[in-house]
Amino acid sequence: MLKAAWLFARSPARAARGSPKNRLDLNCLWLYLLATAAFMLLFWLKPFDFPDRTAPIPYEMQDFAYWLKAELWQPVLEGGWVVFMLGLLQFFASGTWPVKLATAVLLTASPFILIGAYAQMHAFPYWAFAAGCSVWLVPFYYLTAKAGPQRWWPLINFSLGVNAIGLPIAGLLSIAALLDQAEAFKAVQIAGGLWLLGATTLGVRELSGLRLPRAFMAVILSAFMQFALAFCLHFLGAKGVLKALFYG
């Protein structure tokens, strides 16, 4: 497992090439679970007002059980990310790039418009919001319906395994928290996010065979869609899902 973690961190394209095409890679699953646990423990143990000293006192006790319940949403968000990414990879595989990109951006923006109209403007009732969220997901059913196991499993394994990058990031964040270095904590968060974005893009390009711009946009737009999914679930009543999104 350590060898697999090193490979994902050092050469994500090679890690992607080695992803099993017909089964779940248990090493990748363990790396995902370890990274998720590492971040859960970090945010449980660090002070609630670090690195933001102006953070309000939480309205409920953020004990171990609180963070554990929040992290139960993490597999849902991870699964959503995989579905969105595969759908976009299928969508970007052919056709005129400017048209495809504009359509994908519109599809990405639509749930945020829906959320704003519901949560801020109170434009329609709860049931209509739920129906709108469901309609937004329909295109991904059709985009991924014809993708066979050889498309699903490599992407699933890679998306799980690339979380190995989170292990050193969680370690550096812990050191920054112990030393009470708020700016270092924020810098590590930014650098870690860029590292994960770059590694995921390289791996996805290797898996899909797409050109780099198409692979990058599939990764970045699917990440925004994951955010949209979390906020849709939040406004539908899912407690803790935003904690899983931002801290998982």
The model's pLDDT over 127-140, given as tens digits with 9 standing for 90+, comes to: 999 999 999 999 99
Kindly state whether residue 180 falls inside one of the protein's structural domains: yes
Kindly state whether residue 35 falls inside one of the protein's structural domains: yes
pLDDT at 55 over 80: no
Q: What is the pLDDT of residue 2?
A: 77
User: How many domains are contained in the chain?
Assistant: 1
Whole-number Å distance between alpha carbons of 213 and 211: 6
- Short-list 223, 222, 217, 228, CA closest to 98: 217
pTM: 0.92
Whole-number Å distance between alpha carbons of 39 and 16: 24
pLDDT at 62 over 80: no
> Are the CB atoms for 132 and 114 separated by under 8 Å?
yes
Report CA-CA distances (Å) from 94 to 150, 208, 214. 19, 12, 10
pLDDT at 37 over 70: yes
Cβ neighbours of residue 37 closer than 8 Å, sequence gap 6 or more: none
Kindly state whether residue 57 falls inside one of the protein's structural domains: no
Kindly state whether residue 55 falls inside one of the protein's structural domains: no
Kindly state whether residue 52 falls inside one of the protein's structural domains: no
Kindly state whether residue 71 falls inside one of the protein's structural domains: yes
Whole-number Å distance between alpha carbons of 135 and 124: 15
**Percent of the chain clearing pLDDT 70 (strictly above):** 99
Kindly state whether residue 226 falls inside one of the protein's structural domains: yes
Cis peptide before 47 (omega within 30 of 0): no
Kindly state whether residue 54 falls inside one of the protein's structural domains: no
Domain hosting 32: range is 2-47+62-247
Place 67 in a pLDDT band, splitting at 50, 70 and 90: confident
pLDDT, mean over the chain: 92
pLDDT at 235 over 80: yes
User: What is the mean pLDDT of the segment spanning 163-178?
Assistant: 95
Whole-number Å distance between alpha carbons of 81 and 116: 22
Place 248 in a pLDDT band, splitting at 50, 70 and 90: low
